[in-house]
Amino acid sequence: MVSGVYASEASDLNVAELQDAITEHNESFIHSLEAKKNEIVDTLNKFPEDEVLQEVKQYLNEKT
């Protein structure tokens, strides 16, 4: 039973639609995080080679 909803009303809820909406939101969020990570890596690539920057890039790539 869904909190605050009578059993007869709860049966009308489409659980699959709720799951799809959550999945779609999560996929969109993950895509935006990946885009931001790629933007950071591209920015780092513009700097001269440096040991610390290499470690940061390696860390970001391992977190994919």
pLDDT in tens, 4-63: 555 555 555 688 788 888 888 899 999 999 999 999 888 888 877 778 888 888 888 887
Cα 13 to chain centroid distance, Å, stands at 26
| Token code pair at residue 36 | 């931001």
Q: How far, in Å, CA of 57 to CA of 61, rounded?
A: 6
Contact 16, 22 (CB under 8 A): no
pTM score: 0.50
Q: Please report the pLDDT score of residue 18 as a whole number.
A: 85
Cα–Cα distances in Å, from 1 out to 39, 42, 56? 44, 49, 48
Q: Please report the pLDDT score of residue 1 as a whole number.
A: 43
Q: Please report the pLDDT score of residue 50 as a whole number.
A: 77
Q: How far, in Å, CA of 31 to CA of 19, rounded?
A: 18
Q: Please report the pLDDT score of residue 39 as a whole number.
A: 93
